[in-house]
Amino acid sequence: MTTPLYTRDVGAGQAILMLHAFPLNSRMWEPQLDALAASARLLAPDLPGFGLSPAPTTAPSLDDYARQVIAVLDTLAVSRVVVVGLSMGGYLAFRLLTELGPRLVGLVLADTRATPDTEAGAAARHRLAAEVEAGGVDVAANEFLPKLLGVRTPRLRPELLDRVRGIIRENKAAGVAAALRAMAARPDSTPLLARVGCPVLCIAGEEDLLTPPDVARDMARQTPRGRAIVIPGAGHLTNLEAPDAFNRAVTAFLHECPA
């Protein structure tokens, strides 16, 4: 039997499922949990081996993660949900589309992409997974931290850099390595964009080096009800670098979603 994912559950109202980035955990959503709980119910699971969820016992795929997330929604009796996925959370959101069906009333794709890894990119993830297993989660922190924040953030806001590193260190090496391999094997989700019937908001940080703004704009163009916004002064972790702008965007988007 699959062990349930640890899930933060705060607020009341429209359910919003918040899927965290790699290599962080649900604590990355604290600026949203604090600000949006007055008007919505926020559900933020830790994926297997991240935060307070136990490490996977077998090599999971993103579809395995999706089944566990659906089990969380079923356990909490969530019948209609807005999904917010950032980076790896966006990859996972695509795997939820078919499973959720009409339960999905809104989709936010933040700092993510629909396309799969290149062959070289997938190979790099597999190499890093092996290095994490040998050297621990600091290996992943050192690899990803320079790419996660905007170009000026480490110098102007060193406390945020330390905060992100601290969140990464809370995760288990087995979970981080498994997620790397799951992301490397993910399929091309681009064909799904045209079939998303609910409103879609694509968010990108102006300084995002991993998924630049043009990636968000391109995804929005391919969805029937999509639009894109770019958040100035932010890199890949828009929700942490520019929480006020991110929260305003999500709050406004909720008014577009069916009640």
Q: Cα–Cα distance between 117 and 188 in angstroms, integer?
A: 9
Q: Which residue range forms the structural domain that includes residue 86? A: 7-254
Amino acid letter, 124: A
- Asked whether residue 200 is assigned to any structural domain, the reply reads yes
CATH number at residue 14: 3.40.50.1820
Give the residue from 86, 76, 82, 62 showing the smallest Cα distance to 196.
82
User: What pTM does this model have?
Assistant: 0.97
pLDDT of residue 1: 35
Residue 65 has pLDDT above 80, yes or no: yes
How do residues 231-250 score in pLDDT, each as one tens digit? 999 999 999 999 999 999 99
The pairing of strands 226-231 and 81-86 is unpaired
In a domain, 219, yes or no: yes
CA angle (207 as vertex; 221, 114 as ends), nearest 5: 35
Query: Into how many domains does the chain fold?
Result: 1
In a domain, 23, yes or no: yes
pLDDT of 3 over the 70 cut: no
Distance CA 252, CA 238 (A): 16
Average pLDDT, the chain: 96
Which whole-number Å values give the CA distances from 183 to 88, 148, 157, 256, in the listed order?
A: 8, 17, 30, 30
Question: Does any domain span residue 1?
Answer: no
Closest-CA residue to 104 (of 187, 19, 222)? 19
93 domain-assigned: yes
Q: What percent of the chain has pLDDT over 70?
A: 98
Q: Is 259 within the bounds of a domain?
A: no
Is residue 192 included in any domain, yes or no?
yes
**Buried (b) or exposed (e) across 201-210, using 16+ Cβ within 10 A?**
bbbbbebbeb
Residue 2 belongs to a domain:
no
Residue 146 confidence (pLDDT) above 80: yes
pLDDT band at 4 (very low <50, low <70, confident <90, very high): confident
CA–CA separation, 88 and 75 (whole Å): 23
User: Rounded CA gap, 17 and 25, in Å?
Assistant: 14
Place of tokens 């993830």: 125
